[in-house]
Chain A
Amino acid sequence: METEEQLIPHLFRTEYSKIVAVLGRLFGFEHIETAEDIVSDTFMLAAETWGQKGLPANPAAWLYTVAKNKAKDHLKRNTIFNNKVAVTLQQNAAEAYETEIDLSGKNIADSQLQMMFAICNPIIPTEAQIGLSLRILCGFGIEEIADAFLTNKETINKRLFRAKEKLRHEHVKIEMPATVELNNRLDTVLTTLYLLFNEGYYSRSQNISLRKDLCLEAMRLTYLLTGNAVTVQPPVYALLALMCFHASRFEARTGQQGESILYGEQDTSLWDKELIARGQQYLNKASTGVQFTKYHVEAAIAFWHTQKVDSQQKWESILQLYNTLLILEYSPIAALNRTYALSKAINKESAIIEAEKLKLDDNHLYHCLLGYLYTDIDDGSALNHFEKALKLAKTKPDKKQIKLYIKQLAEHTAKTN
């Protein structure tokens, strides 16, 4: 049986985000802090009460009841205040006082979706969108968000405060966008979820369980989009497929000491077959209709990476997918990965010619790639590139990894000479 110490943080994340979404929609961004305060108070009371009396039979229901009562009290006070002081009533608050606060599953899901569209709004910076999503949609604490972004609480608090100010100032409503602008807005939502996932998957943070939680939350929110008739669109399934394929390697990509294990060296028996199968289902659903997005291409690439065979056909397919991805949208990492695929599909010599055209000299991964490509062909050049990479690398794990490459290269050179 779980003790309350274990249960509360777990409940906090999931239930916090649910209740905040419902109350937040009721209060609007004008009073989003009030919604957050009510929920925080509720959890504080839960910690106290449950600590003394033990867990209630249904902790979530307990939280809902307390939060509802606190919200009603607040609205009542607010209405009285407004009646006495202000001439006009605050419309939504008055309505809410009349209506029951609805914490049903359906309304929670609807509220979370609407909140998602309100937060993933291009008028605030992408980093703020991710931060607010983590706070309001995922119920992460400020400290956890700071940890994920490798920064401090103060920076995050400021960032979230400014973002809420901006949303208030622009009178952003917590609602679904009109059908005509839905696709544009859905693009922004998907970009934020994609980045949220990447934040967890590729983050430099050493906190592995936190990183995994970021990925799982990104998946949960994307999954939420598939449950709504308006937002269930092929690119959503493509993104979800991409996430499943990547997530299937969670266990395999981290070693016992928390070090990262490269794709080629992973124990493939640790790859999560169920997630791979789900990814395939989603990819099939994504392949209906005419929309063809970068998520489709990336999901297809990720699919090939779930295949254990190391055949020429696999790498030829990956190469062509990277070509397509780059034609859709350039990114340095895609350019590097394309060149790696080229070396596997054709040969290292052609890949070197292509790599040297990329002009990514200040990118440590670029030099890692050239180091890899020159190994066996010109070990001296290979070493040169690894050393440049080491100079450019900024984080400890990166430096450690590159030192390992240099060591392996030295062993390799000694063996072949």
Chain B
Amino acid sequence: MNEFALIFRNEENPDVQFSPEQMQGILGQWRNWIGGIAAQNKLANPGNRLGVEGAVIRKGGIVTDGPYAEIKEMLTGILVVRTETLEEAVELGKGCPIFSAGGSVEVRIVIPTTME
């Protein structure tokens, strides 16, 4: 079995404000999607959502507010699935609710930690 990280990216759009009901609905979609992966026993790690608040540290201790000005899509979260092949992981990723919000999912194989 292999593990694949699903990496979520989305544009930060300050113009879009969700009502609490909409927010609830979006959260429900995400939980159903992740629950569905878990129900297939393919969830290796539920990971975390990432918020907007953050900073970037560069060589020489230079700290900036974030990468947001330079890149279009922001990293919004990560989770890890357990499948045999990349294709299966991609298939799981296709169900992600992020697409209806204009985001993307990057699928990357996880390199196992060796005991050495």
Contact = CB atoms under 8 A, between A and B. Distances in A.
B67 interface: no
Nearest to B27: A320
Interface in A380-409: none
B38 A323 contact: yes
A79 to B, nearest CB: 52
Interface string A104-124: 000000000000000000000
A326 B32 contact: no
B46 A327 contact: yes
A358 B43 CA distance: 13
B5 interface: no
Max chain B Cβ within 10 angstroms of own Cβ: one of A338, A342, A357:
A357
A179 to B, nearest CB: 30
B36 A330 contact: no
Nearest to B43: A327
B24 to A, nearest CB: 10
Given A327-B38, A354-B36, A359-B40, 18 more contacts: A316-B28, A319-B32, A319-B35, A320-B28, A320-B31, A322-B35, A323-B34, A324-B31, A324-B35, A327-B34, A330-B43, A334-B39, A335-B38, A335-B39, A338-B39, A339-B39, A354-B39, A358-B39
Nearest to A359: B40
Interface in A320-350: 320, 322-324, 326-327, 330, 334-335, 338-339, 342
A319 B33 CA distance: 12
A330 B38 contact: yes
Give the interface residue-count category, chain B. Answer: 10 to 19
Interface of A: 316, 319-320, 322-324, 326-327, 330, 334-335, 338-339, 342, 354, 357-359
A316 B24 CA distance: 12
Nearest to B39: A335
A354 B39 CA distance: 9
Interface on chain B toward A: helix, strand, loop, or mixed SS? Answer: helix
B64 interface: no
Contacts, number: 44
Interface in B40-66: 40-41, 43, 46
A339 to B, nearest CB: 7
Interface on chain A toward B: helix, strand, loop, or mixed SS? Answer: helix
A321 to B, nearest CB: 10
A342 B31 CA distance: 12
A235 B109 CA distance: 36
A334 B40 CA distance: 11
A323 B40 contact: no
A248 B36 CA distance: 30
Contact of B35 (A316, A338, A358, A359): A338
A338 B36 CA distance: 9
A322 B34 CA distance: 11
Top 5 A-B pairs ranked by shortest CB distance? A323-B35, A326-B38, A335-B39, A330-B41, A323-B31
Contacts of B40: 335, 357-359
A327 B39 CA distance: 8
A320 B32 CA distance: 7
Interface string B2-40: 000000000000000000000000001001101110111
B8 to A, nearest CB: 16
B1 to A, nearest CB: 13
Contacts of A335: 38-41
Contacts of B38: 323, 326-327, 330, 335
Contacts of B28: 316, 320
Contacts of B46: 327
A343 B46 CA distance: 24
11 contacts: A320-B35, A323-B31, A324-B31, A326-B43, A327-B35, A327-B46, A330-B38, A335-B41, A338-B39, A357-B36, A359-B40
Contacts of A358: 39-40
Contacts of A359: 40
Nearest to B35: A323
A131 to B, nearest CB: 29
Interface string B58-90: 000000000000000000000000000000000
Nearest to B79: A327
A76 to B, nearest CB: 56
A368 B44 CA distance: 28
Contacts of A319: 32, 35
